[in-house]
Amino acid sequence: MFLITTIASSVLFISTAMMILSSILSKKTFSDREKSSPFECGFDPNSSPRLPFSLQFFLLAVIFLIFDIEIALLIPLISIMKISELSNLIMITSIFILILLIGLYHEWIQGSLSWAV
């Protein structure tokens, strides 16, 4: 027990010392307007350097990722087919796919899947 306590306290001490040392060494000097400017040519930009981002495309990408992860969760059901009974497997798979379909229906009703603005 003493060995575990000693190792835990030494790890805590080393990590705390590293965090303090990195915060001391990473202190930035005074930054003026020209150093924080995105351009080095000496003139102020006429427009914003950032382009507008389509929020609808972002929402569609997030929905795609969520459904992609849910499909990846269905893959282990193939290996479970050998172990479990057919009735339990059909029930679990049906409930999971029903949840996916309810989520898809909800997104469709909310209008998140339409490309028109």
Residue 36: DSSP 8-state: S
Residue range 31-55: average pLDDT? Answer: 63
Cβ atoms within 10 A of the Cβ of 46, count? 5
Domain boundaries, the chain: 55-110
Cβ atoms within 10 A of the Cβ of 67, count? 14
Mean pLDDT of the chain: 79
What separation in angstroms does the CA of 89 have from each of 10, 21, 94, 117?
Answer: 49, 55, 8, 42
How do residues 46-94 score in pLDDT, each as one tens digit?
Answer: 666 666 777 777 877 887 888 788 778 878 888 887 888 888 888 888 9
pTM of the model: 0.45
Min mean pLDDT across 9-18, 30-39, 64-73 is at 30-39
Q: Which of 77, 67, 60 is nearest to 104 (CA)?
A: 67
Distance CA 49, CA 38 (A): 8
Distance CA 91, CA 88 (A): 5
